Amino acid sequence: IGYGFAASLERYFRARHEFPDVEIMMGIGNLTELTEVDTAGMNVLLAAICQELKIHSVLATEVINWARSAVGEFNHARRLVKYAIDNQSLPKHVDYQLVMLRDPKLKELGSEALENLAAQIRDPNYRIFAEENALHVMNRDGYWKGTDPFELFDQFQAAHPKDLDASHAFYLGYEMCKAMMALTLGKQYQQDQPLNWGFLTQAEISALDRRREQGEDPLCGPR
């Protein structure tokens, strides 16, 4: 980009028109490595061009940090666009593996449902939600919400300091960190579950499952 990108695409189209049966390779690293932007969307567009022009070979690299997953992205992208082109359908609601920065759709309870839930809780275990541009933390003793996790922590710690031992504080801090990340990026947050990073998502053992594996009562887990 900046040195004749559109013209280079035109040459690929012209070459395919003039030589319909010749194998062609596209060096996509010249774009992904030299453009300071997340590469997943770029790889989908390049894969679509390759699929339509019957370009079967690409040179993909993972040198610079923002392109560190570019090869895996293109692998998913080529499958996605092949399905779309072969079936003459949009590449939508087919595979979410390349929806990495944000999530396809958010499922929110809404303020009224959150308030009703908070009023019904009868145990000391903390529930954490991330929606309406705020963190929501609740248990039987209160309902706290805000945009600063440090202020929230201070609030429910001051209200019930004996409820927070070191393990509970660590757990809540970890979960609120994930919740803040979800709010920042527009992702779905579900307590005790990993955030969805598409094909880069790593499995995460929930706190309850971890306690079961250790032979402890899961109901006595992080509150």
Global pTM reads 0.82
pLDDT tens, position by position, for the chain (223 residues)? 999 999 999 999 999 999 999 999 999 999 999 999 999 999 999 999 999 999 999 999 999 999 999 999 999 999 999 999 999 999 999 999 999 999 999 999 999 999 999 999 998 889 999 999 999 999 988 999 999 999 999 998 888 767 778 888 899 999 999 999 999 999 999 999 999 999 999 888 877 777 777 666 554 444 4
Query: What residues contact 177, with CB distance under 8 A and at least 6 apart?
Result: 149
Task: Judge whether 106 lies within some domain.
Answer: no
> Domain tally for the chain?
2
> What pLDDT, on the 0 to 100 scale, is given for residue 206?
77
Residue 68 counted as domain residue: yes
Examine residue 96 and state whether it is found in any structural domain, yes or no.
Answer: no
Same domain, 126 and 199: yes
Residue 93: inside a domain, yes or no?
no
In a domain, 63, yes or no: yes
SS3 content of the chain, % helix, strand, coil (to 5): 50, 10, 40
Question: Does residue 22 lie within any of the structural domains?
Answer: yes
* Cα separation, 199 vs 100, whole angstroms: 8
CA dist 32 and 37 (Å) reads: 8
Same domain (yes/no): 200, 125? yes
Q: Are 221 and 212 in contact (CB under 8 A)?
A: no
Closest to 222 in 3D by CA, of 137, 133, 125: 125
Side chain identity at residue 57, one-letter code: S
Residues 129 and 41 in one domain: no
Query: Do 79 and 128 belong to one domain?
Result: no
Are residues 131 and 39 located together in one domain of the fold? no
One domain for residues 125 and 209 = yes
**Domain extent for 31:** 5-87
